[in-house]
Amino acid sequence: LAQHGAQGWLNDERYVFTAIRDGGVLDLPRRDAGIFSVFCLGAEAHGVSITGAQYPLDRAAVSPWFPIGVSNHFIGQAPRISVEEGCLLVGWELA
């Protein structure tokens, strides 16, 4: 869906996932606690930024071979995730 400019959600009772790509931005809900993860889909993603989380990133390269975005933590802010080039799968626990 993200490859065609649409946004979709895959979820069950505990988790939700979506993808962003090429200039995409995703604002997660503000939470005091919980975990979210960012996975690279396909080739290395460039310009990946995460703000408002325990482990921020600033325009980093993220590859599918090294899990730099796994198990980040909510810290009472609304995390923002963006990617300049490439595709990311983002998943987080529901409250």
At residue 82, the pLDDT reads 98
90 forms beta bridges with 18, 38
In one-letter notation, the amino acid at residue 54 is: Q
At residue 69, the pLDDT reads 92
* pLDDT range class, residue 4, cuts 50, 70, 90: confident
At residue 2, the pLDDT reads 81
Residue 95 has pLDDT above 80, yes or no: no
Place of tokens 């995460």: 50
At residue 81, the pLDDT reads 98
At residue 25, the pLDDT reads 97
Contact of 15 with 91, CB cutoff 8 Å: yes
In one-letter notation, the amino acid at residue 39 is: F
pLDDT digits (tens, 9 = 90+) for 16-73: 999 999 999 999 999 999 999 999 998 999 999 999 999 999 999 999 998 899 999 9
Residue 5 has pLDDT above 90, yes or no: no
